A and B are shown apart, each in its own frame.
Chain A
Amino acid sequence: MTSSIVVNIKKKRITELIASGKRTDGRGLTDYREIQIESGVIERAEGSARVRLGKTEVLVGVKIGTGKPFADVPDKGVLTVNAELVPLASPSFEPGPPGANAVELARVVDRGIRESNAIDLEKLCVESGKLVFVVFIDVYILNHDGNLIDASALAALAALINAKMFKYTVEEGTIVKKPGYTPLPISNYPIAVTFAKIGNKLILDADLDEEQVMDARLTITMKKDGNICAVQKGGGSGYFTREEISEATKIALEKTAELRKFVVKS
């Protein structure tokens, strides 16, 4: 735990800089750090991607299995997202079952993918009510330097685009693999952008120092048509005003389009 005295000193410096439109690393308020995306880094996984966002580093693996569909949607494949705050990634991460932060991270990434219908789950149904494909997205945080949500959502999308499905036939209700692969059916490209409120300013892509001093954060996930598919306010004991939320949606429209080019191209 960072001592509150250090945080208070940091907070003063960072807040003063941001109030004058500057940041400690020289970025503009809505600039992202350098983004690097590497796809297909884990050969054993059906899909994978490693995203670096400044010093933040996230690895996502996609595995595809089979299982029973949920009773209320018998003709759709199943999507599950899990996030691990791996202890090697930060002195503040500890071994053990996922805590509230890991669960929230996984659920925000999940909501973006699910609500935008990024994966065409109907195409993953083998036999209605009995047998469907299950897409497991596992988010692995390797180095924590802030803005895990955006980095994880980018990596998850890149891994899905990278994912391949084995060809198969169905014989007596079981799946028999055939040689060759097809791409996973992807029908949307959700992009998450996370605002941090520091003082009375909104910034994008906060690094760890900025996250430690922020009042609150707001994640907006948008689909390729610019519609919103997920929102999450979080991060500490601050709040947003009505005007700040309108401003955030405007900036998000521009930024998500910008970031999407980055992933969909790579």
Chain B
Amino acid sequence: MKVTKKKPKKEREKMANKKSEKLIDKKGIRLDGRKVDELRPVKMDVGVLSNADGSAYLEQGRNKILVGVYGPKEAHPRHIAKQDRAVIQCRYHMAPFSVDERKSPAPSRRDVELSKVIREALEPAVFLEYYPRTSIQVYIEILQADGGTRCAGITAAALALADAGIPMRDLVVACAAGKAGGKIALDLMDTEDKVGEADVPVALMPNLNAITLLQMDGNLSVDEFNAAVDMALGGCKKLYELQKEALKSKYVSAEEAK
């Protein structure tokens, strides 16, 4: 995997102005040097915050994402509690400095929707019925955004939930595919997402073959849509291996420190 270097602002603007057909060259190479079915470089760390019950840090290309999990704990406000299971309270939030133009720290409508769909992507994996009347809080902070942050947020949130010791049926791992420059491509970065034809984020519980998040916007034929879903699922499976490594390496290093 190639390392993507941070481009100066002028060059980034030039990239954003490029038309969709220029996103992938004749040899099938993308603006950042990747092939169509290649993920961006990924780095995952588990247990990075001392106060949170569970935490994870993830970098995927220029995305930098920090997740903290608290709970299960008493649900506040009380009326959100459910008698027969725990509830997940999820907040997806972008830092004001995470994008080119400063973003207001108040939650946007997009943040509200993403918090909801991310919660629904994580819920099927957690044994919520073990902790009735409690709340599990998942805080996802996007420190830097470069396309595909909801997916990267889910991948990191699953690691943080596991790190918190919350019993789960499976990990959840997410990855997007889409169409850019006329081709179906994996893990779109910001420019490809904005200029490209479509984006299809997918979340998967890999051992249960259960798809827990599926969205799409843009324009795809039914066949293209199915091809994008399959490519995204392939990306999920690769990321799942890295997720397992990240969890293991935390406990291996804990063992060595004894």
Contact = CB atoms under 8 A, between A and B. Distances in A.
A236 B124 CA distance: 8
Contacts of B233: 242
B213 interface: yes
Interface stretch (B60-68, B114-122, B136-144): B114-122
B229 A242 contact: yes
A19 to B, nearest CB: 20
Contacts of B229: 242, 245
Contact of B215 (A232, A237, A250): A232
B151 interface: no
A96 B44 CA distance: 40
B209 A229 contact: no
Interface stretch (B47-55, B158-166, B220-228): B220-228
A237 B128 CA distance: 10
A115 interface: yes
Interface in A191-241: 216, 218, 223, 226-241
Contacts of B209: 241-242
A245 B211 contact: yes
Given A100-B115, A241-B210, A245-B229, A236 B217 contact: no
A100 B213 contact: no
Nearest to B120: A234
B220 A233 contact: no
Q: Is the interface of A mostly helix, strand, loop or mixed?
A: mixed
A249 B225 CA distance: 9
Given A239-B124, A239-B210, A242-B211, A104 B216 contact: no
Contacts of B210: 239-241
Contact of A230 (B205, B217, B222): B217
Nearest to A112: B217
Nearest to A235: B120
B214 interface: yes
Interface in A231-261: 231-242, 245-246, 249-250, 253
B226 A246 contact: yes
Most buried by A among B82, B84, B209, B222: B222
28 contacts: A4-B83, A103-B112, A104-B112, A104-B113, A107-B109, A107-B113, A115-B218, A116-B219, A227-B219, A227-B222, A228-B220, A230-B216, A231-B214, A231-B225, A232-B216, A233-B120, A233-B212, A233-B215, A234-B117, A237-B128, A239-B210, A239-B211, A240-B214, A242-B230, A242-B233, A245-B214, A249-B226, A253-B222
Interface of B: 82-84, 109-110, 112-113, 115-117, 120, 123-124, 128, 200, 205, 208-222, 225-226, 229-230, 233
Given A231-B216, A241-B211, A242-B233, 7 more contacts: A4-B84, A106-B109, A111-B217, A223-B219, A229-B217, A236-B120, A245-B226
